[in-house]
Amino acid sequence: MNAPHPAKVAGIDSTVPSPAHTVASTAPSTSPAAPQSATDTADVADDPGTPCAPGALLQDRLAGWVSDLTTLHELTERLVRTDSLAEGLQELLRAGAALVGARRGLVTLEPADGLGPDTTVGLGLARADLGHIETVPRDALPHGRILDGLPVGEGGLAEPDLFAEKGLDPRHREVATRLGYAASYALPLSAESTGSAGSHGVAGSTGNNESTGGTRRLGAAVWLYDEPAEPDERQRHLAGLYTRHAAPHLARLLEVERTRASMATLAEELLPSRLPRVPGVQLAARHRTGPRAGGDWYDALPLPDAALGLAVGSVTGSGPSAVAAMGRLRASLRAYAVMEGEDPVAVLSDLELLLRLTEPARSATALFGYCEPALRRITLAGAGHSPPLLIGQRRTEYVETSVSAPLGMLACWEAPSVEVQAEPGETVLLYTDGLLHRTGDPADRAFARLHAAAAGVPRAARQDPDAVTEHVLRTVLPDGKAEADSEEDVVLLAVRFD
């Protein structure tokens, strides 16, 4: 009597024959994603001389499906915890390598809509290795053929023995020999074209460049084997299931990355495209935008009588609304500076009134200075902003400014201005609070760190305000913190007097 046909279990297709071991036996033992294999009772069932009850075979199949389901659940859980596109692509490569029994791989992101970003990320491959692979003609690579529109079935595209293939591209043979891989397995990455949060991607069904059957191409992934090999039927099935459920998450991370890039571009476009050249001073600026694009800004504009208007500020909040508010505030300040820039208190008073009337739910900090290069003098007024730093050969000190509330927090804002008298060769450094907040230190320690960084500027670098800002930024925020994603924007504006 034949065993009853088993039903599908938790989304695992029961029509795929179950091997003697689950996928764990093919995953590298060093991989943290490698699952434990189920009890091997199928060996008894496969022995023609050993009687086997139908229930034992069914039980073994169920155990294999449960093990596979647990593996997929763990791998997808790890994927959904990634919150950046780079992390998501790396997790996809690691999980896929464990499922198909490979050690290395790469994923090429090339969205079919042409809006980017286009990038290639490797697993176990250095940047130079990826560069070598990119020298191979695109149509000679499995993932290149997928990206060019070659239809791919549910089983993906396998090259089990590259050097046994007739007609292998000479450059591909050379690169494969150089990097030490002999086989590959590739899958397309595609997701629902609607982009809805609850949609499921479809991977492995098509490699077309354009949307097909409601899907759009994101890219292609390929895993490399050190020896001739290819994944078996069940490994292909599990890899296809994983990429199918990974694609929607990657599509969402892609949209987030695009939004971040758009916001960063918008924020940069609202800031000065270049700093003015004014006799008697040299200017330099640094601006780092956080992933959500905040409202930090700076400005430097020529004023009548060979004067110069200097400003830094920060609008509360983040995202498109903060960026738009920052643009409006900066444009208004420029107008007030042209009309009455010689009186910084009047400039900020006008700005406070405008902010209170037009955006009552928002506040901002600002620092405006009327600079007279010929006299090496800056008249400053601040609204809730951190004091600037005066950096010279014989002194490094904070400029004493009056304590005042941010703009928009009082019914009427007004605070006395202060004058900064600089010596030849000295630099006045204006900055936003994001520089201090990114350190993660309490306020007093963050101010001390900034002071120490400014005092430690090498003597030769003090002749160049660009070198001063770069040294301060890298010293206050070491170990890549200046470039890493952060909720805080950073602005530095340096003014060196000749």
Other Cβ atoms less than 10 A from the Cβ of 58: the count is 14
Closest to 313 measured CA to CA, from 354, 269, 367? 367
pLDDT category of residue 411 using cuts at 50, 70 and 90: low
Q: How far apart are CA 167 and CA 134, in angstroms?
A: 19
Closest to 10 measured CA to CA, from 51, 65, 47? 65
Task: Compare 330 and 265 and report the one with higher pLDDT.
Answer: 330
Read off φ and ψ for residue 176, nearest 5 degrees: -60, -40
Which region holds residue 408: left if phi is over 0, alpha if psi is between -120 and 50, else beta?
left
Domain ranges of the chain: 23-262, 271-497
Q: What pLDDT score does 246 carry?
A: 93
The CATH architecture assigned to 271-497 reads: 4-Layer Sandwich (3.60)
Residue 113 has pLDDT above 50, yes or no: yes
The CATH architecture assigned to 23-262 reads: 2-Layer Sandwich (3.30)
Q: How far apart are CA 62 and CA 224, in angstroms?
A: 31
> Comparing 23-262 with 271-497, is the CATH topology the same?
no
pLDDT category of residue 412 using cuts at 50, 70 and 90: low
pTM beyond cutoff 0.85: no
How far is Cα of residue 74 from the mean position of the Cα atoms in its chain?
Answer: 24
Q: What pLDDT score does 15 carry?
A: 38
Q: Which residues contact 100 (CB under 8 A, 6 or more apart)?
A: 26, 185, 223, 231, 235, 236, 239
pLDDT category of residue 45 using cuts at 50, 70 and 90: very low
How far is Cα of residue 93 from the mean position of the Cα atoms in its chain?
Answer: 17
Which strand (E) or helix (H) includes residue 430? strand 427-431
Name the least confident of 94-103, 122-131, 135-144, 477-486.
477-486
